Structure 1
Amino acid sequence: MDSLLRLLAVKPRLLALGEPTHQENDLLRVRNGLFRELVEQEGYRAIALESDCLMGLVVDDYVTQGVGELDEVMARGFSHEWGGLAGNRELVEWMRAFNEGREDPVRFAGFDGPLEITGPASPRQVFTTLHTYLATWLDADLLPCTADALDALLGSDERWINPDTMMDPTQSIGRTPEADRLQLLAGELTALADTQAPYLIAQASREAWDRARLYARTCSGLMRYHYWMADTSDRRIARLLAQRDLMMAENLLDLVDRGPTLVFAHNSHLQREQSTLNMAGANHNWWSAGALVNARLGQDYAFFATALGTMRHHEVDTPPADTIEGVLYTQDHQLVDPKALTGPLKPRVSPWFGYAALHPDHLPSIDGIVFVKDVNPS
């Protein structure tokens, strides 16, 4: 495939590649090939996936330093069961082999929060890890609380991860006095890491401080997510969706400060348009991570959307001729300039809930389309 960058006036610091569905190895292998080209020919230094940002540290340690065994890394380093996909395993294997003996390794990152469909994680891990890091290097009187006081505020993890909370906000503890205090502590611990940055970096390392800042962002993000889990208004779902994408955007903005990065996630998380979800008969609108990052980076952000022709194992058959996918299905091109798609086009209607076709109204905000004609079963 031609380089994605040929469609752009400048090389972006953050190049986004979206997918219209999840868990399809054909799409992951297209991603892997494009990432290799960006690393070997364009100097890109990292890839970020729609996976837990904390779990991703396990993968980064493996691909950069060879820490751990591959099977364990795939099991512990990905959320959403992404570690079981052959395409992701092949990516990790290639990155480890590429980095062997290099002083400036290519990095791996998850950029999603520690969130699952059933709800957010307990904030214990992020709070205790951040507190331990600060307590190791700083005088105790600088810290806003002791480890024991923090443990008492956190209480049992079961209260935080109660799956019934997703459907019943009254069961959430996200607006209790303890949660309010933890939100304040998240800000105070973050401020301490920032105000003591020169000392902390000199005593430990820049790498350790960067990871502490990741834990700090996640502390605040998780507490805001738990706060909105307890919301009983009609805006609850939209606020939860917006908070998740805000956490994603914050992680991406941190990553691009360290070098050109490819981010791979669902099109809906990376698009510049406002995202929409229909749930329980109501439409929920929010700005995606891509829209938020684009507002900050401008031309340093580029978005390429992946489109597909057929996915017959999910009853997604030959696309209608008057859709984006239908026009592309008659061609052999894999990389398409959206400006070349002219004439009246209709939205493609998917027979399967797990696949979202490109909308013609979004074409002006897409920098390029990567087209995969036929997707085979993974």
Structure 2
Amino acid sequence: MKEQVADFLRLEFLSNTMQQFLVFLGIMLAGFLFKTVVSKLLSEILFSVVVKRFSKDVTKEEFKRLLVTPLEFLSFLVFFYIAFDQLTYPEQLGLPAKDEIGLKRILQRIYGIFLISSITWVVMRLLDFFGMFFSKRAAKTLSKLDDQLVPFFVDFTKVIVVIIGFFVILGTVFHVNVAGLVAGLGVGGLALAFAAKESLENLLASFTIFLDHPFVVGDLVQVGEITGTIEKIGFRSTRIRTIEKSYVTLPNKSMIDKPLDNLTLRTFRRVTFEVMLTYATTPEQMRAVCQEIQAYIDHHPRTNEDGQVRFYRLGPHSKDIRIFYFINTIEWEEYMKIREEINYEIEAIIARHGAAFAHPPFLYGSLQG
């Protein structure tokens, strides 16, 4: 039996013995089955060596959740290389040598690209972890500046890492003279700048935002027709959570080119509207309505004394009262609640004095019809 097994293992196919093929399959199977175990072990080692002192702010589970997937891919690539290294490439396939252009060289370069890309992936996930750590630290401070600086520098560092990974691939896989290429970029730099004009404008706009501080994370702003809370300021774009709870991403260039109203810096929110009463309203009623509404707004605990209530126009179909006041809050929900409360009282005042609201002719006609 042993001799039969030995004879079977010595059988050759495509210049490889069955033993070589079995070792190859065994390594590939082990890589597929144990890549998760290996990745978790590597993440444990990385956590204990690199980031253990940060464990008070970020847990080990969060670290593993970020690193397990890219480490799985990296470990499988290592098993993949070891497995194929056990095989002998037969001459009858006509594969050229490693230093000659051919299928073997192409496959090696593809493997090199995947290997360097997976390492870059791991580094970027580490950056995500440190970004998470520093974001939690920044959330504990009173300043909002660090809340927006952390994601900005994390994204900026990721771009640098990707660029470095790209140059490493050019140098190690394609044997390009990277130093000469970087020096030669001065010639094509102008064309590259024009090609990346929009990205460069957004990058410069992000630096303008950080230097001038027109807004910070958490501010309620209005940019054009969009009103919402700043959630993240990146190196290319700014993300805003609108009042309707939708998520809008605006290029940083738009944030500094368009008129921007930082509503958070307001101490009050303005309310202005008109009340139209019928021509049956007497002058005494108009005067009493205006005076009582003015007194109510002046003495309301959430308004200031700059409010104005004036009988300012005899319109074509109504006597118009203009009401203008400020509410001392910047919170949208609270603002709407106080405004509603004041509106109810205005309606009650008008009803108490026997006045009635006027309707535009087209609305009045539709109501009658």
| Same fold at TM > 0.5 | no
Which structure's relative contact order is higher, taking Cα pairs within 8 Å and 6+ residues apart?
1
TM superposition score normalised by structure 2: 0.24
Rg larger in structure: 2
Task: Compute the TM-score of the two structures, normalised by the length of structure 1.
Answer: 0.23
